Amino acid sequence: MATKKNVSINNFEESLKKLETIIQKMEEGECSLDEAFSIFEEGVCISKKCSKLLEDYERKIMIVKEKKIDGSSSSKRASSEQLDFF
C-alpha cells in the first residue's frame, strides 16, 4: 500500500504544471500500475491543496471587497492572519 507523500506547493502555477505533467505521464500509459497509482495519489494531493489555495484566495478577496465597499473600520473581520497573503 502506498504511503501519502507530503507534497510541497510553492505556488499555484507551479502546482498546475506538476498536475499537467502527472496527467501526461498517466495518459502515456508507460508506467507500471504501482507507479501510476503513486503519481495518481500525488496528483490528488496537489489538486486538493490547489483547491484549498483557491478557496483561501476567494475568501481573502471577499474580505477585501467588503472592506472596500464599507469604507469604514467596522469590518474588523479582516484580521492580519486572514489577509496575510503577501
* 76 assigned to some structural domain: no
* 44 assigned to some structural domain: yes
* 74 assigned to some structural domain: no
Tens digits of residue pLDDT in 31-74: 999 999 999 999 999 999 999 999 999 999 999 988 887 765 44
* 61 assigned to some structural domain: no
* 77 assigned to some structural domain: no
Instruction: Please count the structural domains in the chain.
Output: 1
* 67 assigned to some structural domain: no
pTM for the full predicted model: 0.64
CA-based nearest residue to 23, from 39, 10, 12, 37? 39
Tens digits of residue pLDDT in 22-33: 999 999 999 999
Q: What is the pLDDT of residue 66?
A: 87
Q: Output the DSSP codes for 29-83.
A: T-S-HHHHHHHHHHHHHHHHHHHHHHHHHHHHHHHHHHHHHH-STT-TT--TTTT
Could you tell me the residue range of the domain that residue 42 belongs to?
12-55
Looking at this protein, which amino acid is placed at residue 55? E
* 73 assigned to some structural domain: no
Element at 5 (helix H, strand E): none
* 42 assigned to some structural domain: yes
